[in-house]
Structure 1
Amino acid sequence: MGSKENNPALVRPSNFQGPRMGGSKFVKEVGPNHRPALRDVHNITRKECPRKDAAECKKNVPDLPHRPVTRRFAQLLQQQPKETKEVTVSSFAANPKAVQDVNQEAKKPSSYDANSSGLVDCEIIDVENIEDEACDAHVPMFVKHTEAMLDEIDRMEEDENLEDEDPIMDSSSSKDPLNVVEYIDDIYAHYRKSEKSSSVSPSYMAHQPDINEKMRAILIDWLIEVHYKFELMDETLFLTVNLIDRFLESQMVIRKKLQLVGVTAMLLACKYEEVSVPIVEDFVLISDKAYSQKDVLDMEKSMVNSLQFNFSVPTVYVFMRRFLKAAQSEKKLELLSFFLIELCLVEYEMLRFPPSMLAAAAIYTAQCTLSRFKQWSKTSEWYTNYSEDELLECSRMMVTFHQKAETAKLTGVHRKYSTWKFGYAAKAQPAEFLLDHSLR
């Protein structure tokens, strides 16, 4: 059964299989930020006022500190229930008769103002049922909790400010069981550890007496075209290159056998990744019958024994999938990222960077290329574990490869990504501003 990576939601031509462009968003959509409700301003503990005379209460009222009502706080006030009791001490202090009438008609609205300066809307309540804080106020009762509410509002505004500072988003989708979100962190932690053991020495070619890095570049550039012609999956290409380098690091190969190593590595990668595997005769034909079927099978035995059947290695592709989700990538960004990373497959000098760094640098370079300014989010930094400064060296090398991709001797990758199927990604203008070393 194919993995999730083998079955993306992208609708592509039936006769071609290019980089994965998942149809759904990479980042789980986050709903509105539901903040905890404010304290219930009506839940006031009542206790008997020690002073029977309301006028005496008023004389001992301390002046409340005046705080300006912000627009946000005014909106909260407008949301108070209509039955909120707005009572002023001066109203019932100057109208003792209203206190006596309260037992006959409880909470009856009154419109008399002691100062006779106008009419106010208020309700009459019993003085003995007012708590000490109520005696201290000549403002609506719900303003007793002004300080607590304002503190809550300040906290809410701080939360909003933090949201504006590029929050770290969750790149896993819990709705899809194939994403195994319960284990995804452990899986990529394992990839981080094993990528060191599955990588090769950046100087292994020095131990090869009959081949060099230029021959390796020619081989991989040709294999990229073979991969395109056979319509194979992306995982197959990256695993093929990994098998070639690991085999060349451990075994000396003569020049005329180098192409045989390449086609055999692709055959093994197909058996590991593909659902429908090309037959041996296909690779014999694609190599212009330079080798026989027996040669391919003999080389296959030699490679699997040399590599000890270890094909489960984290290639650049597995990190690309994860990091593109974190970057909330779109189709254009994905295609450009894969264009840059395939340029790096051809270059022997890029072996000194681990697969995770190559993937992160390709996405960073692609983002800068499309936006025309340096761009690396907190979310991408969190999931890749690489800061912008750590990626700059690798990213600048990718920019130089992009600059010479069209005019170089090996143009297989450029021609592949100059087609409609790959969104003309190779036509994008290189992010040359990244080469300015004064930009830090």
Structure 2
Amino acid sequence: MLLPRTAKMLTTKQPRAGKVGPATENVDPEKEESCHAKRSSSSPQGGPKKRSAFGDITNARKNQVVAGKKEAAKAAPPKAQKAHNALGVAKNNEINLKKPTKKTPPTEPKVNPGPEKPVSVQEPKPPEERQVPAVEDIDKEQLGDPYANAEYAKEIFEYMREREEKFLLPDYMEKQTDISGDMRAILVDWMVEVQENFELNHETLYLAVKLVDHYLVEVVSAREKLQLIGSTAILIASKFEERCPPCVDDFLYICDDAYKREELIAMEMSILSTLKFDINIPIPYRFLRRFAKCARASMETLTLARFLCEMTLQEYDYARESPSKLAASCLLLALTMKNLGGWTPTLQYYSGYNAQELHPLVKRLNFLLTYQPCDKLNAVRSKYSHRVFFEVAKVTPMDMLKLEETLTSS
């Protein structure tokens, strides 16, 4: 009964943990580091991410190596196993001694490649050799603003420039037998007061004046209906531009109940049908704000240019000017009056006009500012004489000869 017990003990004998250690030390350190790296992978949230498939693969590979070493140690005789273990320890010690020599020795001095340094390192160019872009991208600062539409601003104003050709006004006063240019000026002066009393946007005023002009191109009207046309044009423009437009009763009130409600609604239908409901007409005010942004003009300079542009609304001679060219000329005159420089390449790029094209219109605007009487139709002047508008209407106009010299030298 003793023999089977001894045999059972021999067959079930397991090698001690200390004897298995040298076999595991023969594993390549780089492979072992890679295995640890795979097992210790973590998720972006900071906690360890469990990936059972990859863990099983790497553990299986390591277990196969360890199991193979165990079987070799179990099959070898005790003396051969001791000799093998001794050789393994000696070999590992030799490998550990040679490890620092395999890596880049920190004690070796670094060779400084003298002739190759100028080739690899690019020295900065002198300031005079650097090329500064002449045209500035004025929309890049507002690319993140969803209300600015900076991504489409350039295309929008190019489209407006194309539509200008469609809405150029002819000389329609020749066929108006009962209306003159002076009557039109009185009407526009009254429309400026309405815009100020109702606190409407300036775009609403400019669009309303355009609606009156384009309607009178197609329809011959009597002077009694002129105020009705003007008030109805403000109503239509308010619906197009304002967030909360005034109601019909408000416009009947400002006309001193000279017209009935049915007449105002009928005139609204007449204007819209005559213009074929195409009332998105380019106006100088939008171009003026765009060009002032190109010039990085201050609010006071922009207000002065707005004052010059709004004065032209009453003048029939300026009604046939291109809105973009009129806006550019008003801004150039305002910049010249403030001694803020001339027409920059950025302004020329975004406006499409060079300085020489604007000089004749700039001189006409300065003449209008100088010789327009202040005691007649002074709604615009009194409006821009307020502190809110920096009292720009009180600015002294430039001398015509000095303006000529400034424009020529710039």
Does the TM-score normalized on the shorter chain lie above 0.5? Answer: yes
Equivalent residue for 1:158? 129
Contact kept in structure 1, 2:366 and 2:400, CA below 8 Å? no
Higher relative CO (Cα under 8 Å, sequence separation at least 6) belongs to 1
**CA apart distance, 1:381:** 1.2
Aligned with 2:152 (options 174, 183, 186)? 183
TM-score by length of 2: 0.68
- Pairing of 1:167-316 with structure 2 (within 5 A): 167-172=134-139, 173-201=142-170, 203-316=171-284
Cα shift at 1:404: 3.2
Partner of 1:422: 389
Aligned to 1:51: none
| 1:70-81 alignment, distance < 5 Å | none
Q: Report the structure, 1 or 2, having the larger helix content.
A: 2
Q: How many residues align?
A: 300
Is 1:365–1:431's contact at 8 Å kept on the other side of the alignment? no
CA distance in 2, matches of 1:394, 1:222: 26
Work out whether residues 329 and 361 of structure 2, in 8 Å CA contact, stay in contact via their aligned partners in 1: yes
Q: Render the CA deviation track for 1:82-133: whole Å, top value 9, x for unaligned.
A: xxxxxxxxxxxxxxxxxxxxxxx965xxxxxxxxxxxxxxx9x7xxxx9xxx
Aligned equivalents of 1:155, 1:374: Cα separation in 2: 27
Shift, 1:275, TM fit: 1.5
Letter of the 1:186 counterpart: E
- Go from structure 1 to structure 2 and tell me whether the alpha carbon gap of 1:381 and 1:209 turns closer, same or farther (over 3 Å shift): same
For 1:334-363, what per-residue CA distance to the aligned partner results, in whole angstroms no more than 9, with x for missing partners? 111110110011111112321111111111
Question: What one-letter code is carried by the residue in structure 2 that aligns with 1:194?
Answer: R
Percent identical among aligned pairs is: 34
Q: Counterpart in 1 of 2:62?
A: none
Question: In the TM superposition, what is the alpha-carbon distance from 1:152 to its structure 2 partner?
Answer: 5.1
- Structure 1 residue 333: Cα displacement: 1.1
**Residue 435 of structure 1: CA displacement?**
6.6
Q: Per the alignment, in what secondary structure is the counterpart of residue 177 of structure 1? A: coil
**What do the CA deviations read for 1:271-322 (whole angstroms, capped 9, x no partner)?**
1111212122222221222222222112111111111111122211221221
Structure 2 letter corresponding to 1:366: A
User: 1:403 & 1:343 partners in 2: Cα distance?
Assistant: 12
Match of 2:3 in 1: none
The answer (yes or no) to whether the contact 2:285–2:306 under 8 Å persists in 1 is no
Amino acid at match of 2:206: F
2:350 to 375, 379, 383: 383
Shift of 1:325: 1.2
SS in 2 for 1:346: coil
- Map 1:28-43 to 2 at 5 A: none
- CA drift at 1:153: 4.1
TM superposition shift of 1:157: 3.7
What residue ranges of structure 1 are gaps of 5+ in the alignment? 1-104, 108-122, 135-140
Coordinate RMSD, CA, aligned: 2.5
User: Which residue number in structure 2 is paired with residue 16 of structure 1?
Assistant: none
Taking a change above 3 Å as real, the CA distance of residues 262 and 390 of structure 1, as seen in their structure-2 partners, is same
Kindly tell me: are residues 273 and 369 of structure 1, through their superposed partners in 2, closer, same or farther at Cα, counting changes over 3 Å?
same
2:313 counterpart (345, 352, 357): 345
